[in-house]
Chain A
Amino acid sequence: MTKLVLTRLGGMVLVLLIVAFCTFVVFYLVPSDPALLACGKPCTPENLALAREFMGFDEPWWQQFLTFLGGIFTGRTFGTGATAIHCSAPCFGYSFRQNTDVLELIGGRLPVTFSLAVGAAVLWVGVGVAIGVYAALRKDSWFDRAALAGSVIGVSAPVYLVGLLGILVLGFQLNVVPVGNYTPFAEDPVRWAWGLVLPWCVLAFAHGAHYVKLTRSQMLETMNEDFIRTARAKGVKERTVVGKHALRNVLLPVVTLTGIEFGSLLGGAVITERVFSLPGLGGLLIEAVHSRDLPTLLGCTLFAGFLVVVANAVVDLSYGLLDPRARLT
C-alpha cells in the first residue's frame, strides 16, 4: 500500500515537472518578452534591459527554469534594496503585472472557481444521473427521447452560446436572475448563491448532458446483467435492485468522469468565467495570456495540472469504496 502511494506521488511530481517544463519551453518558443510590459513608454533599450534584469528575464531560459524550481523550496527575491520584492517559499513566481505573488493570486481566485465548480458539479451529477437512470428505466418513452434530444443539444452547444443566451433571455428579457455580479460566500451566502444560479445552470447543462448519456447507456447495460435477473428472481424490491445493485455499478464510470471534469473545472472554467464576468482562475489564465504575464501563466497551468493529477488519484482511490473488487489490500 505504502509503495503504491509513494509510486503515485512520484508520478504526480514527475507529471507536474513535465507540465512546468513544457509551459516554460512553449513560452520561450513563441516570440514573447514579458519585460515589455514593465518597460514604460517610450520603451528604450536601456529601460527594457533594466526591466529584464529586475524581473529575472535576462538569464538563459534553462537558468530561469531552475531558478523557478528553486523558488518553490527557498523563495525568491527580485531586485535589491528598499524596493526589492520578496516572494516567500513556496514561491510559484511573482506577477509583475498584478504586483502579487502568483500563489496569492491563485488563492484569491480559487474560491470563485470552487464556488462555480461545486455548484455546477452537484447540479450536473445529480440531475444528469437522475435523468439518465429514469430514461433508462423508461426506455423509448417520450421522457427517454426528450432526455436524449436534450443531451445532444447540451453536448453540441458551445458554453459561450448557452451562456450568452441565458444572460439575454433569463437575465435581461425575463429578468429572473442577476447578471455580472459575484458576491463572496462569506459576505452574503444568499447573494453568493443567487448570483451563481445562471452560471451553474449553464455549466450543468453543458456537462450534465454527458452524464445523461453515460448513465443511461450504463444503466441499460447493467439492467440486463445476470446478477440483476438473479436479484429480481430472489424477490428483491425493484427500488433496491435499481438503487443498490444497478446504480452502484453505473456510478463507477460516472465517478471517473466527475473526478476528471471537476479537477479540470477547478483549474479554471475559462469561457464560463469570461461570459459571466466571474473573477476566477479561468479569467486569471486568460488575462495572463493577454498580458504576457508568464509567471502567472506558469503558476495557473501548474496549478491546473496539479488539480487534474490529484483528481485522478482521488478517483482511483474512490473506486475501492464503490467496488470491493478494486479495494487496495
Chain B
Amino acid sequence: MYSKRILAAALVGALGVSACGANDQKAPGDAAAKPDKGGTLRILSESRTINFDPAKSQSLAITTLGLVHRRLTGWQNAVGQPAKVVPDLGDTGRTTDGGRTWTFVLQEGLKFSDGTPITSADVKWGVERSFAPAFGGGLGYHKDLLGGADYKGPFEGKELDSIETPDAKTITFKLTRPYGDWPWIASTPAFAPVPKGKGAEPDYQEHAIASGPYQIATYAKGVEVKLSRNQNWDGSKDQVRAGLPDDIVIQLGQDASVVSQRLAADSGDDKYAFGASFASPAQLAQLQANASAKSRVVTSKSGAIAYLALNTQKAPLNNVKVRQAFQYAVNKSNYQIASAGTAALAGDAATTLITQGIEGREQFDLYQTKPEGDPEKAKALLAEAGFANGLDGLTLVLNKSNNQTEKAEAIQAALARAGIKVTLRSLEADAYETETNLADNPTYDLTLSSWQPDFPSANANIQPLFATSEIGKGGYNISRYSNPEVDELIEEAQSTVDVGEAGRKWAAIDKRILQDSPVVPLIYTRNSFIHGSKVGSFFIADFPAYPNYLQVGITK
C-alpha cells in the first residue's frame, strides 16, 4: 500500500513537471517579420572558442567579430547583388599613384567602448600588432603588401614604416606594389583598431576593447560569451551594422544535431536563437516533416566552389588534353548527390572559377556537356593525348577531416567510366595540408577541395588558387598550376584600381585558366542555417554563403 502511494505521488509529480514544460513550446511567430530594437539574441555555436582578438581572427566581415570590432572598411551585401566595399571606421580609400599608396580618412567622433576616441594610430597599432609572433593565426593578406617580412610587431618598440598617420583621422598605406583591392584588404580583421599601446596580453580576446555595437560582458571559456550594448557606439556613423538586439549570448560547444532539433522545436529561449553551423543534409531531411521548422531554414543561393584539382606538374596531368578530358569525365550530378543527397541542397553545377555574388563575374562554360558528363568525349581526348587505353595508377588524396570519402568515391566511379583508374588516399588534416600546401614535390595526382574567398573580390577567388607564387610554401595553388602569361594577367588585374575594369580582367583570366584546365569546377556549395521563430532579418546574401550577423534582430 505504502509503495503504491509513492508510485502515485511520483506519477502526479511527473505529470506536473510535464505540464510545466521544460522546453516551453508555443506556436511559432512570423519568421519574416521585421525585427525591432531590443531583446536578447542567442547564437548556438558548435565551436568552443570564439576569437575576439582581431589579429588572431579569420572571421568574415559580417559574422561574430563584426559585432564587437569595426574595421577600416566594411561589406555591404544583399540578396541579388554583388557584395560591395563600403565605409566603416574610415572611407573606402583613395589612391593617387595607381594603387601603390592608399589613404583612408576616419569618421569624426568615433569612440571605443571605454570612451576613448578611435584614431588612425589605433588602426595602425592593430595592423602592426598582427605581425607579432604571439598573435598569429589571423588573415595575413596585408603582410606581404606592407613589406613586413622582418617586422615582428610593435611590442619590440619598432613601427611599420609603410603605414603613416599624419593626423588622428588619416592613415596612409605605402604598398610594395600597386594593389587595386586594398580597400577590401582593409576590411579584414587586422584592420580593426586596438588602442595604441594595449593588447599585449595573450587573452586579449576575452576582454578586447570594442569599437562595434557590442562589448564583451562575460567570456566563460568553452561555455558562453555574453555581449552587451556598447554605449559609445553611434549607429548613425555605422552603415554596416544594425545593432538591434540589446544583448547577444553565444552558447559554445553545442552539438550540431541537438541544435538543429532545438531550433526545430522552437521552444523557450531557442525562439530567439540561430545556429552558427550549417544544417547537415541529414538534419535538413528531418526538418522537411516539420512545416514550421522548414519555414525557418535559410539556404544560400550559392557558396564556395568545390573542385577537383589536377596536379599539373605531374605526368600525365602535365598534358593539357589529358586535363581537359577530366572536364568531361566527371559526373557533377552524382557529385551533388554524394555531397548532400539532392542537387537542390548541394548547389548548382559549377563551370567558372569566380563564385556567384562577386563583382565582375561572367557565366560561361568552356566544356559544355550534360551534368552526368560525357565519358566518350573524355576517352577521345585521352586518345588524342596518346592515352587510348585510359589512365592508370592515379592517386586522389583526401583530407580525412572534411568527410570527403563519399564525394571522392563518386569522382572515382565517374572517372572509371572514361578509363581513368584512381586510388583514394585519405590523410589526416595536418598531413594533407603538408602534402598539398607545403611540400615541394608532392606525390598526389588529384585532390578535392573547396574555396570561398576571404573577401568579395574575384582576386580572392583566383590569385590564391592559380598564381605561381602560391604553389607550396603554404599557398593554396594545389593544382600547382604555373603559367607566366596568367601570372602577368593576375598582376595586372591586381594593380587595376577601377572596379569595373578589374572585374572584366578577372573574368578574362577565369576563362584563360580554365582553357588550361588545372581544376574541374564541380559545384557552388550551398549552406543552410536554421533560426528560431522570433529571429528577424536573417538572410544570406549572394556572397558570402553565411547569414549577416550584423543585421539580425528580434521580432515581437
Contacts and interface: CB of A to CB of B under 8 A. Distances in A.
Interface of A: 30-33, 36-48, 50-51, 53-54, 79, 81-85, 97-100, 105, 108-109, 164, 167-168, 171-172, 174-180, 182, 194, 274-277, 279, 283-284, 287, 290, 292
Contact of A178 (B23, B133, B136, B454): B23
Contacts of A30: 428, 430
Contact of B140 (A40, A99, A292): A40
Contacts of B433: 36
B200 A83 contact: yes
Contacts of B205: 99
Q: Which residue among B141, B265, B464 has the maximum number of chain A CB atoms within 10 Å of its CB?
A: B265
A82 B153 CA distance: 11
A108 B257 CA distance: 25
A83 B202 contact: yes
B156 A81 contact: yes
B225 to A, nearest CB: 12
A42 B149 contact: no
Given A39-B474, A176-B22, A79 B136 contact: no
Interface stretch (B13-21, B159-167, B228-236, B338-346): B13-21
Interface string B257-296: 1110110010100000000000000000000000000000
Interface string B132-176: 111111111100000001001101100000000000000000000
Given A31-B430, A32-B430, A32-B431, 8 more contacts: A30-B430, A41-B454, A42-B475, A43-B438, A79-B134, A97-B49, A99-B202, A180-B254
Nearest to B188: A41
Contact of B58 (A41, A53, A180, A275): A41
A279 to B, nearest CB: 5
Contacts, number: 160
Contacts of B262: 172, 179-180
A239 to B, nearest CB: 16
A36 to B, nearest CB: 6
A238 B262 CA distance: 51
B140 A171 contact: no
B253 A279 contact: yes
Contact of A38 (B24, B137, B206): B137
A292 B156 CA distance: 29
Interface string B419-438: 00000000111110110011
Nearest to B137: A38
Given A54-B136, A83-B132, A175-B18, A164 B257 contact: yes
Nearest to B21: A175
B476 interface: yes
Contacts of A46: 149
Nearest to B44: A180
Nearest to A172: B265
A51 B476 CA distance: 19
